[in-house]
Amino acid sequence: MKNLDKIKNTKGLTLVELLISLSIVAMVISVTVMMSLIGLRSFSMSMAQSDIQYEVRRASAYITEELRNSTKISTTDSGLDDIVIDDLIDGNDSLSSNIKIDNNVLTLYIKADKVGVGTNINTSYDLTTEILLNNYSTTMSPIDVTTIYYSSPDDTDFEPSWD
Q: Give the mean pLDDT of the chain.
A: 81
Q: In the chain, where are the structural domains located?
A: 36-155
Give the pLDDT score at 157.
47
Q: What is the pTM of this model?
A: 0.69
Give the pLDDT score at 20.
95
Using one digit for the tens of pLDDT, what is the confidence trace for 71-80?
A: 888 888 777 8
Give the residue among 86, 96, 98, 83 at the shortest CA–CA distance from 144.
98
| Mean pLDDT lowest among 32-41, 101-110, 147-156 | 147-156
Using one digit for the tens of pLDDT, what is the confidence trace for 95-146?
A: 888 888 888 888 889 888 877 665 667 788 888 989 888 887 777 788 888 8
Rg over CA atoms, the chain: 32
- Which amino acid, 56? V
pLDDT band at 34 (very low <50, low <70, confident <90, very high): very high
d(CA 99, CA 88): 16
Phi-psi region of 114 (alpha: psi -120 to 50; beta: other; left: phi over 0): beta
d(CA 72, CA 150): 5
Residue 162 pLDDT exceeds 50: no
Q: What is the 3-state secondary structure (H, E, C) of 86-98?
A: HHHCCCCCEEEEE
Residue 11 pLDDT exceeds 90: no
DSSP string covering 111-145: EEEEE-TTS--EEEEEEEEEEE-SS--EEEEEEE-
Q: Tell the burial category of 21 from Cβ atoms under 10 Å away from its Cβ (0-12, 13-18, 19+).
A: exposed
